[in-house]
Structure 1
Amino acid sequence: MNGFERRKQLKMQQIREAALDLFSHFGVQKVSIQDIAQRANVSPVTIYNYFGSKEDLLLDVLSNYFETRLQQFLKIKNSDLSFQEKIGKMVEAKVEETKKLSPSFIQSIFMTTGPVRELIQTFAAEKSIPHLMELLEEGKKEGYISNDLSPELLLFYIQLLFDGISKQSHLFSSEDQRDKHTKQLIHLFFYGLMGQKKEDEPPN
């Protein structure tokens, strides 16, 4: 990559980050190309040249964000950590996400129709869900997850957990709360409401 292309890529990433921050805080509808240009310290013409319309920029921003999150997940999934430790890292990453993206923005994105919904559905079906299912199968092999649970139910359970983290982000607003509630969520994921079974308690 030559110097010109490198500068272009850096400027595009700068625009993506500015757009994501503004979209998250104010909503897509209330943010203009001019607002993004001002935040990214570029001209509106530069944004149009690189991305096209605001709708095209939104798709690019989301695609880039999803891909970044997927690479973070794959780094955890392919690590030498135990399944329990991997789930812990996933929960911690989701908690960290609440500091960057507002719950209202996440909810609005997943309720959107058209190209945005198509992007989300395609990314989930072709990338995120298959990798997540591989991790859950690993959990079954290690004995952390019951073989009686269907893949559909496991996905539903994890979606409930992550949706709850997004919608109740106030539970993680301070460092003390974040540490406390993250540990409790991980414990809840593995042991449920009753907590860990006693060693002499017979299995169900």
Structure 2
Amino acid sequence: MNGFERRAFQIKGNIIQTTLEMLKTWDSSKIRIADIAKTANVSQVTIYNYFGNKEALLREAVKKYIEDSFNDFLENMNGDYTFKEKIESIILQERESSLSSLTPFFMRLVKEDQEIAQFMEKEYNERILPAFLQLIEEGRKNGKISDKISNEGLFVFINFSMKYTNELYDSIQQTGNMNLMNEMLHIFLYGICGKE
């Protein structure tokens, strides 16, 4: 990559990152190219040259959001963590993500935009699913996952848990007893009766 290409790559990355940051606090329908240009300290023409229009820019920003989320997941799966720490990371990843406030916009765009939906499905099937299946195999081999639980059952339970992590966290914050999150993770991992 020569100097011009490197600079173009940096400018484009800055515009995408600025858009993601703005989407945390702005309604996507109210963001204008002029707002993004001003915040990113570039001209509107630069944004149009790189992306063509606002919809294409939002699409690129969402792809970046997906890639960042998936990269965080894979980093945790490939890291030197215990099985329990990896499962905790999966469940809490949505809550800990610096981009978690984008979730409603992100989910709406995934439903409405065929290109984004296909991109996400491809990335999930090629990158996330194999890593998750490997984690399940590791868990079964080490006696951390019961043979009584199918992969499908485990997927459903983890997805359900992830879906309600924010609500659970908010409820725990209201009690003022943050140790309850550890209790909830313990129940997730071992059930209310503990290990068999």
How would you bin the TM-score normalised by the shorter chain?
0.7 to 0.9
Q: Shift of the alpha carbon at 1:167?
A: 5.4
Q: Which amino acid aligns with 1:6?
A: R
Contact in 2 for aligned 1:103/1:167 (Cα 8 Å): no
Contact in 1 for aligned 2:94/2:100 (Cα 8 Å): no
Q: 1:166 to 1:43 in 2, by over 3 A?
A: farther
Q: 1:21 to 1:155 in 2, by over 3 A?
A: same
Structure 1 alignment gaps of length 5 or more: 198-202
SS at match of 2:157: helix
Q: Partner residue of 1:118? A: 118
Q: Partner residue of 2:187? A: 188
Q: Shift of the alpha carbon at 1:84?
A: 0.7
Q: Distance in 2 between matches of 1:14 and 1:172?
A: 36
Contact in 1 for aligned 2:24/2:101 (Cα 8 Å): yes
Q: Distance in 2 between matches of 1:82 and 1:9?
A: 37
Structure 2 alignment gaps of length 5 or more: none
Q: Distance in 2 between matches of 1:82 and 1:2?
A: 42
Q: Partner residue of 1:146? A: 146
Give the TM-score of the pair, scaled to structure 1: 0.79
Contact in 2 for aligned 1:91/1:182 (Cα 8 Å): no
Q: Distance in 2 between matches of 1:66 and 1:165?
A: 19
Q: 1:72 to 1:158 in 2, by over 3 A?
A: same
Q: Which amino acid aligns with 1:184?
A: E
Q: CA RMSD in A?
A: 2.7
Q: 1:10 to 1:113 in 2, by over 3 A?
A: closer
Q: Shift of the alpha carbon at 1:107?
A: 3.7
Q: Partner residue of 1:131? A: 131
Contact in 2 for aligned 1:73/1:90 (Cα 8 Å): yes
Contact in 1 for aligned 2:34/2:44 (Cα 8 Å): yes
Contact in 2 for aligned 1:98/1:166 (Cα 8 Å): no
Q: Shift of the alpha carbon at 1:57?
A: 1.6
Q: Deviations over 1:104-163 (max 9, x none)?
A: 324423433422222222222222222222212211112111223222222221111211
Contact in 2 for aligned 1:19/1:36 (Cα 8 Å): yes
Q: Which has the higher helix share?
A: 2
Q: Distance in 2 between matches of 1:23 and 1:160?
A: 26
Q: Partner residue of 2:20? A: 20
Q: Distance in 2 between matches of 1:157 and 1:71?
A: 22
Q: 1:184 to 1:8 in 2, by over 3 A?
A: farther
Q: How does 1:171-186 map to 2 (within 5 A)?
A: 171=171, 180=179, 182-186=181-185
Contact in 1 for aligned 2:59/2:116 (Cα 8 Å): yes
Q: How does 1:38-187 map to 2 (within 5 A)?
A: 38-97=38-97, 100-166=100-166, 170-171=170-171, 180=179, 182-187=181-186
Q: Shift of the alpha carbon at 1:182?
A: 4.1
Q: 1:110 to 1:157 in 2, by over 3 A?
A: farther
SS at match of 1:143: coil
Contact in 2 for aligned 1:95/1:165 (Cα 8 Å): yes
Contact in 2 for aligned 1:98/1:169 (Cα 8 Å): no
Deviates more, 1:19-28 or 1:150-159: 19-28
